[in-house]
Chain A
Amino acid sequence: MRRMMKGNDAVSEAAIRAGCRFFSGYPITPQSEIVEYMSWRMDEVGGSFVQSESELSGISMVYGAAACGLRVMGSSSGPGFDLLQEGIGYIVSAELPALIVDVVRYGNGLGEIVPGQSDYWMVVKNGAHGDYHCPVYAPASIQEAVDLVSVAYDKAEQYRNPVIMMYDGAIGQMMEPVVLPEMKEHDPDKFEWSMKGRGGEPQKQITSACYYRHRDPQVYVDNLRTKYRTIEENEQRWESYMADDADLIFVAYGIMSRSCREAITEARKQGLKVGMIRPITLYPYPVKAFETLPENLKGFVSVEMSALGQMVEDVRLAVNGRKPVYNYATGKMIPDTEEFISYMKNVLEGKEESV
């Protein structure tokens, strides 16, 4: 059954239906709907909700419940997401699954409450210290977000690593028709590591893997390398749109990819051969999408709602010098079709500088 839902509500409901039974969070725009939704919905399904006194505390509660094997979720935005980093780093170190959602707002410090994509560095390149990655899903529609929630839980458990879903405030707050999955039960006791009291067995420890699980330094290193290499090999997701024969390929994710797609459709009508690669995973970055390039390709444009252009670094790594890369950082604005087309023309006419 299709129904109209707000992005944040739909993601919350999708998490519940994937078996999430613990949520703790703290209000911040444009993420607050998640906290609000979970506050009553967890009750209905017999799960637990805590409005924490801070994000530091909230993510710590999420860590505790994750250690007990529950499917858990935390979420925040901007300055609140900064405070989640400590807990995310510990959840990673203890090799626990969790789903963390960043509903991105724009700007530095307190910033603004308008949508943005300027959390790329923090989320994709990690805000906490140490050697790790979190798989990052960047849906472009509410339906895609809903579908990726259960994928995210499965991957988090498969790799014993938290997974982050990152979308901007526009996707979080707009309404779209969505089909929700069936309710799924999750058994917290299915893991040998879940905390429940030792029950006559030897003591279990949840702490950084370097102390007990992978105490041998080489085992520790090998485990991390194997984990992230496997993720990089098997978990890349992307969508290509009219990229096969393109003269110019845009790289855009999330909300930006929607305007970009419209502009490309219109540009094609005008005879401009442009296309798009839309990363769905930001870690692992979908480098496979960049393997074979159209013969006539002139370059790539990384387009993002940030002041400096953050993802462009990963585009450059993926392109690896084979073609020029252009950095179309649009601040807090999403270009309209006309602006996109004028940028395309400038690049194709050699009027833009590559990075």
Chain B
Amino acid sequence: MAKDLLTPKLVSELNRFCPGCGHGLIGKIIAQVLEERGVEDRAIQVYAVGCSCLISTVVQADSIQAQHGRAPAVASGVRRARPDAVVYTYQGDGDAAAIGLSESLYAAYRNENYTAIFVNNGVFGMTGGQMAPTTLEGQKTATSIYGRDTSVTGQPFKLAELVAQMPVAYVERCSLTDAKHIAQTKRAIGKAFDNQLAGKGYSFIEILSPCPTNWKMEPVDAYKRLQDIVAGEYKLGVLKDSEEE
């Protein structure tokens, strides 16, 4: 399994993410899913602003960088311009849930036929670990140095639950905690792309992912926190499957 994940041809040797970062792993999963379906040559990846933007150095598909938060709208333009392309967005939680919430929800609301990958690492990674909408209650970040005070800032933001309110094809929350969860993440991403290929509409996969650097933890501890604490707040599983309704 682990060896498998290292093999996609679509993945470059260059990985500019920090050691232990979840982004690199998700990139490999996406590449593998695309290659298994033989669609890597017609994939268009619309990526965001944040550490997430380095995804295009890992997954060597045709790539467009959107403005901060606007990847869902850019992808909606691409979807119409290139009906035969396999289109997906790749965004962090600041990008998709803070500045780009409107674009995120409206793409879901229109049930755009593309695949949305949403990486929840609980912080603004690239800008130095500030509080994100997804930051847990009491979590210390660069802009919540005493811990997130939810009485002032609101509760941890559940974007997947919101998207599941929309008339979309599929919503699932996954995690990278261990081999079992990574395999489930791969199945979910695979399903999201299969839905698109079958013209079923919008699929949204949220992935709980560690940011060891801004969590100020060793990678091993960061993965443990993901399992023990983050997944306690953000429940894993399928939130919507239009086939089963």
Contact = CB atoms under 8 A, between A and B. Distances in A.
Contacts of A197: 41-44, 61-62, 82, 84-86
A207 B64 contact: yes
A207 B63 contact: yes
Contacts of A70: 81
Contacts of B42: 196-197, 199
Interface in B65-82: 65-67, 70, 73-82
A62 B79 CA distance: 11
B81 A48 contact: yes
A64 B60 contact: no
Most chain A beta carbons < 10 A, residue from B41, B77, B85, B106 = B77
A197 B78 CA distance: 11
A205 interface: yes
A98 to B, nearest CB: 11
Nearest to A87: B67
Contacts, number: 136
A217 to B, nearest CB: 19
A68 interface: yes
Given A22-B80, A60-B67, A70-B81, A195 B44 contact: yes
A121 to B, nearest CB: 23
Contacts of B81: 21-22, 48, 64-65, 67-70, 188
A15 to B, nearest CB: 16
A200 B39 CA distance: 11
A205 B85 contact: no
A203 B56 contact: yes
Contacts of A69: 81
**Interface footprint category on B:** 20 to 34
A130 to B, nearest CB: 13
Interface stretch (A49-57, A155-163, A233-241): A49-57
Nearest to A93: B65
A190 interface: no
B89 to A, nearest CB: 10
B103 interface: yes
A64 B102 contact: no
Interface in B189-244: none
Contacts of B85: 195-197
A87 B64 CA distance: 13
B82 A196 contact: yes
Contacts of B26: none
Given A65-B78, A68-B82, A196-B62, A60 B103 contact: yes
A243 to B, nearest CB: 44
B46 interface: yes
Interface in A33-74: 48, 50, 52-54, 56-58, 60-70, 72
A208 interface: yes
Contacts of B64: 63-64, 67, 94, 195, 205-207
A57 B82 contact: no
A53 B104 CA distance: 11
B76 A205 contact: no
A90 B128 CA distance: 24
A48 B80 contact: yes
A42 to B, nearest CB: 10
Contacts of B46: 64
Given A50-B76, A197-B44, A204 B62 contact: yes
Contact of B60 (A48, A58, A203, A206): A203
Contact of B77 (A61, A90, A94, A208): A61
Nearest to A42: B80
A86 interface: yes
A198 interface: yes
Contacts of B61: 197-198, 203
A24 B110 CA distance: 14
B73 A57 contact: yes
Contacts of A48: 80-81
Interface of B: 40-44, 46, 56, 60-67, 70, 73-82, 84-86, 102-103, 106
7 contacts: A22-B77, A53-B106, A61-B76, A64-B66, A67-B74, A195-B85, A199-B42
Interface of A: 21-22, 24, 48, 50, 52-54, 56-58, 60-70, 72, 86-87, 90, 94, 188, 195-200, 202-208
